[in-house]
Structure 1
Amino acid sequence: MKKILVKFLKKLRAKNEMRYFSKIRKKNNNLNPTIICNNCIGGVIYHNLGLKFLSPTVNLFVKSDDYLTFCKNLKYYSSCDIVQVADIDREYPVGRIVPLDHNHKEITIFFQHYKSFDEAKRKWVERFQRINWDNMFFIWEFYDTLYDNQLLYDFDQAELPGKKILLLHREIPDVKNSFVFSCYKEDLPTAKAFEYKGISGKRYLDEFDYVSFLNT
């Protein structure tokens, strides 16, 4: 009986999720945004809204100490090569953007949803070429127990070529462009934003009104 009930609830959640997708897709007026995100949140937003991936930062993550540098120098890094990293022990491929000069730092990219580096690099290059430079959005989910909070203040004050938002796990004073999730208690480094809220079809991510964020 328990297995039958679990199966039924999963089907019900899936139906509710499709209804939710239909609702937010009708509300969305921005059909070609480029979302530069530090983790998979950008890709999930693209998927939920049924949009084409116009960003290289899909199915991957960038650590916070690299993400801000990447955002500030996005045009520059679009001209740089990315090579495979062998000295980082992970179950998935890891790449490193190689700067063209000594004035820019290397950026490490963790391709956790790709089977091989060749596949990851091909998608990275392909999606970089799709960037809509006139319709840019920057989304940073920030773990304040892992990284220096000065980084989020720097991001909040940075002049970026588009709209920006910090997704936080607790209220942090004097941060203007931010939203706080309700699902984090101790800011553990887990992807709780992707967890479903019961059988509603919504995730905790959907607490953040990304449709209004993109439409504005």
Structure 2
Amino acid sequence: METTSPFFVSVIVPVYNGENFLAQAIENLQQQNYQPLEIIVVDDGSTDGTAEIATQFKDQIRYVYQPNRGPSAARNRGIKMAAGDVIAFLDVDDLWPANKLALQLSSLAANPSVDIVQGLIQEMQPLFTSTTDDAPIFEETSRPYQFVNIGSAIYRKSVFDKVGLFDETLNYAEDVDLFHRAREQNIAKMVLDEVTLFYRKHKHNMTRGKNLVELGVLKAHKKCLDRRRQQGSSSIQALSEVPSVLEYLGQGPVNNNLENKHFTIISNDSWAGKVYDDLGIIYKTPFIDTHLLAPCYITLLKNLKRYLTLPLTFTAVSRYDFFNKEREKRFYPIGLLNGDVEIHFPYDQDEITAKKLWDERVKRIHWDNLFVKFSGDNLLCTKELIKEFDNLNFSHKVCFTAKEYPMFKSTVCIKDCVVEGETIYPVSKKSFDVVRWLNKKLTRNDDF
């Protein structure tokens, strides 16, 4: 479907070993109800069948290969090639709704002073019944949210003339850095209350780990502060701008009903991190993308403060054979506290990074404002362990389970909430009001 418009759009698709996704990404762009498009595929040194897939669309796309230099370099190559006056980016493993470009271009045309039009992001996660990586089936796993993501926005090409290209020294959060520079140049941005990006989570992009991404975000923020200092601002002046910076980036709190913003969640899986992400709050717990089996977790909780003041060490071998078999396929660090509590870091690539982030986050714990969460269907969990959790002396605790346990006060039964020992945060939100839980005030001293 061709659309009469003052804009010609170039869509840049950076790809590295994306043979499982490239054809679907190109077809997704061809199904946009705004046409025609210039589709530029930048192959960043792929070693799989990416080039062969691209050849199938050779008359419909512009394809270029370059040695592997990272996603920023690939996007920059695409920008330099682009003939359009509007630029958009689609990571090869993501998708757009069919009306994305039509919606955003309409807003761009109606607002000549605006240079960036952003939208909301809808996360998609593989169904756990899927057994193949070649044709993963995805489902929505959260409500749409606003956050910095290159693919959720469109940009007048002049933006890159004003703020420069992507910083190729950043392996992560290069989009945060770009938006920082856009704000510094007073680039006008608007946000639509419509989904403009389907962000698909799968094992390949999840193994990068939230920890590495967070380090990238911190580097991007530091670059911004350094630029402000070079312009004569003091550190205090620069930091005073943080709220407006976060608002521009789309990282401010998304729930104004949250009154208690200085809390720490203790969790035996990645649920805690999802809460902080959803509320736009910095991590105030070390339990981010970590996993503890139920026996270790209950041991930890029985003497929480003592354990978390001990140094984190690492072991080459888990006491659980099924983890050792898994780590033969893909290595990840296993931490130890006191030699008897195993903490798995499945999304970290090395022990140094895992320990650095763990130590930093332990310092942020609000011991006077703890909220404790347990996945009661965690591997090796028993009814007796749930009972032990229920009897622990924490003011605010919750245990998610797949079946009813009317004899326990802390359990909340939510069907399909816990899958393979992991609490699915968006599913838990359907039946559990996390903001209401966090707004509760401590009514007694916790014994930990």
TM-score computed with the length of structure 2 as normaliser: 0.41
For residues 40-63 of structure 1, what are the alpha-carbon distances to aligned partners after superposition, in whole Å with 9 as ceiling and x for unaligned?
Answer: 001100110111111111111111
State the alpha-carbon separation in 2 of the partners of residues 95 and 114 from structure 1.
Answer: 11
State the alpha-carbon separation in 1 of the partners of residues 415 and 253 from structure 2.
Answer: 23
AA matched with 1:18: Y
Question: Which secondary structure does the structure 1 equivalent of 2:390 belong to?
Answer: helix
State the alpha-carbon separation in 1 of the partners of residues 253 and 281 from structure 2.
Answer: 14
Equivalent position of 2:128 in the other structure? none
State the alpha-carbon separation in 1 of the partners of residues 144 and 428 from structure 2.
Answer: 13
Equivalent position of 1:8 in the other structure? 97
Contact kept, 8 Å, 1:142 with 1:167, in 2: the verdict is yes
Question: Which secondary structure does the structure 2 equivalent of 1:81 belong to?
Answer: coil
Distance 1:46 1:188, change over 3 A: closer
Contact kept, 8 Å, 2:375 with 2:423, in 1: the verdict is no
- Larger RCO (CA under 8 A, 6+ residues apart): 1
State the alpha-carbon separation in 1 of the partners of residues 282 and 96 from structure 2.
Answer: 31
AA matched with 2:420: P
Equivalent position of 2:357 in the other structure? 123
Question: Which secondary structure does the structure 1 equivalent of 2:97 belong to?
Answer: helix
State the alpha-carbon separation in 1 of the partners of residues 303 and 423 from structure 2.
Answer: 29
Contact kept, 8 Å, 2:398 with 2:410, in 1: the verdict is yes
Q: 2:396 aligns with which of 163, 173, 176?
A: 163
Q: Are 2:343 and 1:109 equivalent residues in the alignment?
A: yes
Distance 1:148 1:84, change over 3 A: same
Question: Which secondary structure does the structure 2 equivalent of 1:35 belong to?
Answer: strand
Q: How does 1:67-216 map to 2 (within 5 A)?
A: 67-88=297-318, 89=324, 90=327, 91=330, 92-97=332-337, 99=338, 106-143=340-377, 146-160=380-394, 162-183=395-416, 189=420, 191=422, 193-194=424-425, 203-207=426-430, 208-216=432-440
Q: Which has the higher strand share?
A: 2
Between the aligned residues of both structures, percent identity stands at: 25
Number of corresponding residues? 199
Shift of 1:24: 5.3
State the alpha-carbon separation in 2 of the partners of residues 66 and 94 from structure 1.
Answer: 13
Question: Which secondary structure does the structure 2 equivalent of 1:39 belong to?
Answer: coil
Equivalent position of 1:45 in the other structure? 275
State the alpha-carbon separation in 1 of the partners of residues 298 and 335 from structure 2.
Answer: 17
Distance 1:193 1:38, change over 3 A: same
Q: Which stretches in structure 1 are left out of the alignment for 5+ residues?
A: 100-104, 195-202
Question: Which secondary structure does the structure 1 equivalent of 2:305 belong to?
Answer: helix
Shift of 1:182: 2.5
Question: Which secondary structure does the structure 1 equivalent of 2:382 belong to?
Answer: coil
TM-score computed with the length of structure 1 as normaliser: 0.81
State the alpha-carbon separation in 2 of the partners of residues 39 and 188 from structure 1.
Answer: 11
Distance 1:192 1:45, change over 3 A: closer
